[in-house]
Amino acid sequence: MKVKTLKSKQGNLVSGPLILSPHVFEDDRGWFFESWNQIHFNEAVGEVVEFSQDNHSQSTQGILRGLHYQLSPQPQAKLVRSSFGEIFDVAVDLRRSSPTFGQWISARLSSENKFQLWIPEGFAHGFLTLSSVAEVQYKVRGFWNKTCEHVIRWNDPELDIAWPQNELNGSDISLSEKDQVSIEFHAAIKAGYLFA
């Protein structure tokens, strides 16, 4: 497995999120790779991670999910991959003590590149479906808890996330009802909906 760190739009290295690229064994019959190995994953992220649940979603082109996160007492970390199709995946640093607070990283995850994005606690997460259909699978540390859940507006001008809307072949961004009523980043700061 190869491990790559990520930089924000401002060019700063963001500590925490990692791109994990598996070793793929390929021949004329097809391919094989380990999508999960506890030992290799723990070595890559530098800690022992125990996941609580696996999630699997399907979205059509233009569906945008996010920016979601959970605060204490049930924060979540995620290991995200696209097992079918392609997504533009984003994580926003919400750790007040971080030098990259309010900055974001992105990665293209697809069934072709087989990349996985590790997003530790302290980040908001969202993705945009670029292909006609995408299936996203993610392992989660921490159970879903509605009372801990928060959503920041996907197109918040202060965050200025460069979503590749020009790749949607004329499709519009489509949001869930929950994501439509999300708050702006400055409102989350004012309300204290952040990590230490």
The Cα 99–Cα 10 span in angstroms is 12
Q: Which residues are catalytic?
A: 68, 138
As given in the structure block, the two tokens for residue 63 are 């569906």
Collapsing DSSP to helix, strand or coil, 113 comes out as coil
pLDDT digits (tens, 9 = 90+) for 157-196: 999 999 999 999 888 999 999 999 999 999 999 999 999 9
Q: Please, which pLDDT band fits residue 68 given cuts at 50, 70 and 90?
A: very high
Predicted TM-score (pTM) of the model is: 0.94
The Cα 180–Cα 76 span in angstroms is 22
With 0-12 CB in 10 A as exposed, 13-18 as middle and 19+ as buried, what is 135?
middle
Phi, psi of 85 (to 5 degrees): 85, -165
Q: How far is CA 90 from CA 39, 67, 78, 129, in A?
A: 26, 8, 12, 12
pLDDT over 90 (residue 33): no
Question: What domains appear along the chain, each with residue ranges and CATH number?
Answer: 2-191 (2.60.120.10)
As given in the structure block, the two tokens for residue 19 are 């791109």
